[in-house]
Structures are given as C-alpha cells and as structure tokens.
Structure 1
C-alpha cells in the first residue's frame, strides 16, 4: 500500500515551490541590496526601509483580495499574473532614481506581486488540490522545497552584486520572476469544490469576526511579521556596523534560508501530530530566546551562525501551522481569503519592523531599541497562542 507521501502530486508541488521560493528568496535577499543601493544614490537608510515597509503593508492589505480571487477563480492565473507584476517591481527598483521611484517598484508593485506568489494563494491552492490526509505533507514539502530555493538565491544574489553590480543583479532577479509565470500556470486547484456545505463568504466572515481564536491568531501573527521584516531588512547592515563585514551578512541570511527549508517541512509534519497552536507558541518563545541570547553574548561569527540557524528553523515554520489552524477552524473553501485576513496583521507588524528599524537607527545610530521590541513582541505572541482552541467553528469546515 502506498503512503500518502507517495501519492502526492509532485509536479504541482515543484511548480508551487519554484514560484514561492523565487518570491520569498528575492525578498529575503533585499537586505543585501540596501547598502550598495543607498551608497550609490546617496539616500538614508529610512528611504530603503520605508520602501520595504510599504511593500510589506501592500502585501498585507491586498492579500485578502488576491486570496479571494484565487479562491473564486482558481490559483493558476492569479499566481502567473503575480509573477509578472513582481518582475515589473524589481525592474523599477533596479532603475530607481528617486525615493518615490524606489517606493513604487520595491514597495507597491513587489508588494502586489507577493500577494499572488506566496503563502495565502499557494497554500490554499495546495490545500484544495490534495486530500485532507495529504495536506500536512503537501504543505511541508512545498514549503521545504521553497525554502531550499530561497537558500540558493541568497549567495546567487550576492555573487550577482559582486560581479555585475546591484542594479544588474536586480534585473536578473526580475527576469527569473518573469520566467516563474510559466510554473505558476501549472498550480491548478479546484476552486469552489472543497466545501461539503455551500457556506457563503459573508457568513464565514461573520463567524470568524466573533471568534476569540481568530483575533488571537491575528495578534500573534503580527509579532512574526515584525521580527522577520526587521531581521530581513536590517540584519546585514547591523552586522556591517558591528565590524563583521559583508560576507557575514550573506552567510547569515543563507543559513537562515537553509534552516528555514528544514523548519517549514518539519513544522508541517509536526502539525499532523500535535496541536498547532501549542507548536506556534513554542516557536515564538524559541525565537525570542534566540534573539535575547544573541544580543547578550559577545558578537562573533560563531554566535552569529548559531543564531542564524535557530532563527531559520523558526523563520516561516509559523506559516503552515497558522494555515493549518485556520483550516481546522474555518475549512478550506475560503482558506486563501481567511489566511489573507490573518496575514494582514502579520504585514502590519512587518511594516513596523522594516520602517521603524530604519527610523530608529537614523535617529539614534543604534538598533538596540528594535531588538528589545522584537523580543518583547515574541514573548507576547507565545502567550497569545496558548489559549487558541484547534477545533472547527465554520460551517462546512473539513479537518486539516
């Protein structure tokens, strides 16, 4: 007898992972572009941080709409269109001659592209495309493979910057994003077929908005966005300021991406065996502890690499677990929309993490306050996830 893993639709998973790996890997490498871009243009760090914060905010604000379009009309066309928009944003970023130009490309357009090429759209499509018993394995494998592709993009982006300059490297990433539109067209799901009862979206939203667990999940996810955006945008610069040099940032971001591939996979699989809300609580607690130890111990390459590895293991492992909690609570018929709503909280936190990091640095010349805020929010998030009850409340919900 074949196992559920043997019956997984591997071509679908590989295409989904390629798109998500491209989108997240390109975003993950943005911190490598900050100092060379700003050095050539003569802008302050707040300029780059504001563009990245705008990207995060657009990603969150428009994610429910993009998720609904994928839920309603199918994911393939939405994902392919998102790849084209993402490519346009990267091209504008590569040729930006003013802060407004940078904000349009690196902020608005790439943020819009991310809504169609990442978690809400792809995970909801996979959740509808496979049987419930395969869902944990499908999300784990897709996320893990995407994380591995993300890991590969970090040294590739650094090598591109060194060989061609930051602008040409961004243009190469834009060409890759455009090519991923072909893979996106293959991520076909079954829109509208997942629910056993025909519950309207309006009724589901009214149910969700009255549920304490929905709001706890929203509030807790905000801390995740804050921490990841702060580290993704500012960690390479923080390390350079500390005297470790540009290679340290590259190696740290690459280690985070590699460990992230492992963390996403095992988070998805562990979610099949243990309560997802408790696993989320543990991840946030571990992440905050890692940050506290990192800034408390003397900074060295050894402490940096251990920190990067631990952070990577917890980096995006929160996503399949959060998606799984939502599937348990509200079913998979409108999972893209529901995840988009929760993801809005994540991205509000991400906007603050990216922009506030640059703002506080320009004012104080230090990231000390940002580390303290990130650690405190992680502790709060860990506590918020403990009382979440993993049980069905939406009509027509299916087990995750």
Structure 2
C-alpha cells in the first residue's frame, strides 16, 4: 500500500511529464512568429504564404482535436501524445527543408496542426483530468500549465539565438529533436478511460455525450467565447514580432516581448487554475477577456516604447493561457470527465477557428493596407464580446432526468 509520500511523488511525476510535453509543443508553436521574416525573405515568399500556413495549422488543430479526443477517450491519452510528438517532429523537418509553398504549407499547416491536437491542451489536460480527483484537478492543471509555460519562456531566447547562430532551417531541426525527445514522456500519462465506465452514465456513448453537450446553451457560449481567445492569441503570437519591426523596434525587443509573455504566462496559468478551484470559473474567464481587451486598447493608443511594450506583454502573459484550464474545468464540472477529451476538443475547435482568422486575416490585411491597425480593432471588439458571453453560462452540473442521477466530476 502506497504512503502519502509515494502518492505525492506519483502526482508530481504526472504533472511534470504533462507540463514538459506541453512546454515543448506550445513552446515550438509560440516561437513560429520569429521565423516569419527569415523564412519569407530567404524564400522570397509574401507574408500571406507564411500566414496561410500558420492559419491552416490552427484550423487543422481545431478540426483534429475532437477526433484525437475521441481516440484518447477510447484508447487512452498516452498513445495519442506519443504519436502526436512524432508527427510534430516530422512536420518540423518538412518545414525546414520545404522548397515550395505547397510542401511548406503541408508540413506547417497540416502535419503540425494535427500533431498539436495530440500534444497540447486537449490530450494532456484530458489525461490529467482523469488521473486526478476533482478536489486536486485544479492544482494539477495549474501546475502542469505552469511547467509548460516555463518551457515556452525558455524556448523564445533559445530559438532566437539558434536563428542567429545556426540559421532558421537548422534552428527548426533542433526543435524537431526536442519534440522527439519529449515523446517517451507519454508513458507517464497512461490514463484509463475505461475506469470511468463504473461511474453512472458511463454507458452513454461518445455520440450521446456530444449530443447532450450540443443541446446546452452554455456549451455554445464557451465555443463562441473561445473563438475570441484564439483570434487574439494567434494574431499576436504570429504577427507581433513583425508589427514591432515595422514600427522600428529591434528583433531583440520582439523576442523580449514574447519571452515576457511566456514568463508571465507561467504565473497566469497557475493562478487561474488554482483560483478555478474555489471561484466561479465563468466569472474568472469573463474578467480575463476584459483585462486582455483593455491591455490591447491601451497598447495601440499609447506611444510605442520598450516600457509600454513590456507592460503590454506582461499583462497579456498573465491572461494568455489561463483561459484553458478554466474552460476545461467548466466542461468537466458540467459534463463529467468520462468524455472530457472529446467535449473539450469540440470547445477548442471554436478557439482554433478564431486562431485561423487571427493569423490569416493578419497577413491578408497587412498585405492590402501595410498596417495591422484593423486587426487590433477587431481583437478588441471580440474581447469585449467574449467577456459578455461568459456571464450567462449555466455552470451547474448536468442532471440526467431520465436516470435520475448526476454524474460525478
């Protein structure tokens, strides 16, 4: 029989493994904006080519997330995470050596997009949600997210240094090796979806669970709100470095901004995940969107300087990915954890649909107007809308009247 120390050692192993996988996956994704100018200048491609590939990546990530969620809910998350890490490395290899826009778009947009659905929030948070009881779930998601955030933070200066010393293609090759090394950590996240079959309502099929969720207004409101989140983060992550360079700031300042976002994100994820354990998650989400929106409005209204950039990056970082454990928590709170990966996958599709438009429209609008101004305005209005949409969400646990039971979280 395991003692308390063994239990906590096992719990830390789980959250560290999950955090490292997410840190590698999201860290590589977070630095892709640093490659915009090196890739397009070296290949002689317009920014729309780069933007379309990233936009497709976000869209495919969203499309694939419910499907990989279903696989994880049926066969376990470990297989999904391991396969996703291998696909990620393959996509990066294609990105580094592609000589045509079609091959580049396939590697970056299709392969990496699908790989992200197996290595990022949906798969890792789904596994941890099943491996931890409800009273420890907020802690687990928060700590894993914090570790992942630290990985994203260190990835920024590392990627920038490698681009300068090795060249962009070799830097991407190193990132591919990072994903290969992270793949074996999947063994630590072997959840057992079938164990939830002993819970009430586990006889429900995935289809029944999805139909039940789609019938809930709050589920749709989460989707719509997450659309704004994806639009804002993808636009800023992909285009902020180019925006700053266009405004006369250095590549070092652009990298510093991404690093500050990643570092502040480590604290933001933990605080949001922890606060979700004792505060209403929907109100926390609404507050995040309003704060983020105010930060963007002030950023474009005030004169651009290193101080204003650093302040903006810090506030954005605090609110960057804190939405994910809170949204995942609402889904688990309302619908239970039996099909958490599948249901969160459907909600996350809204996020990635927003990401697609944030990246793609950023490139299209810039090529047409030589300015990102209209994208900043769009991000601000979407943030206000998202903050309002979360307020009326019914976050009470679903009651299955036909069986007279409430599924435990």
Q: Normalising TM by the smaller chain, what interval?
A: over 0.9
Q: Which stretch shifts more, 108-117 or 92-101?
A: 92-101
The CA distance in 1 between the partners of 2:11 and 2:60, in whole Å, is: 32
Task: Indicate which of 369, 388, 408 corresponds to 1:398.
Answer: 408
| Alignment partner of 2:208 out of 203, 212, 217 | 203
Q: Does 1:373 align with 2:373?
A: no
Structure 1 residue 143 and structure 2 residue 145: aligned? yes
**Does 1:98 find its partner at 2:108?**
no
Q: State which of 12, 15, 19 in structure 1 corresponds to 2:14.
A: 12
Divergent runs of 4+, >6 A: none
Map 1:235-314; keep pairs closer than 5 Å. 235-314=240-319
In the other structure, the counterpart of 1:356 is: 361
How do residues 46-65 of structure 1 correspond to structure 2 at under 5 angstroms? 46-65=48-67
Return the offset for 1:194. Answer: 2.7
Task: Measure, in 2, the Cα distance between the counterparts of 1:298 and 1:20.
Answer: 35
TM-score computed with the length of structure 1 as normaliser: 0.97
Residue 324 (structure 2) aligns with: 319
Shift of residue 397, structure 1, vs aligned partner: 3.1
Q: Distance in 1 between matches of 2:8 and 2:25?
A: 27
How many Å separate the matches in 1 of 2:293 and 2:323? 14
Which sections of structure 2, spanning at least 5 residues, go unmatched?
A: 401-405
Deviation at 1:2, TM superposition (A): 6.6
Matched, 1:77 2:79: yes
Is the 1:332–1:397 Cα contact (8 Å) retained in structure 2?
no
Is the 1:204–1:394 Cα contact (8 Å) retained in structure 2? no
Q: Deviations over 1:77-126 (max 9, x none)?
A: 11000000000001101111111111011110000110000111110100
- How much does 1:6 deviate? 4.5
Matched, 1:228 2:233: yes
Distance, in Å, in 1 between the alignment partners of 2:398 and 2:302 is 45
SS state at 2:188 partner: coil
8 Å CA contact 2:70, 2:206 repeated in 1: no
CA displacement at 1:294 relative to structure 2:
0.2
Number of residue pairs matched by the alignment: 399
CA RMSD, 1 decimal: 1.5
CA contact (8 A) 2:81 2:119 kept: yes
Q: d(CA) in 2 for partners of 1:397 and 1:51?
A: 41
Name the structure 2 match of 1:180. 182
When residues 66 and 275 of structure 1 are mapped into structure 2, their CA distance, relative to the original with a 3 A threshold, is same
Structure 2 CA distance for partners of 1:126 and 1:394, relative to 1, 3 Å = farther
Deviations 1:326-365 (A, max 9, x none): 0011100000000000001110000000000000000000
Q: Could you tell me which residue of structure 1 aligns to residue 155 of structure 2? A: 153
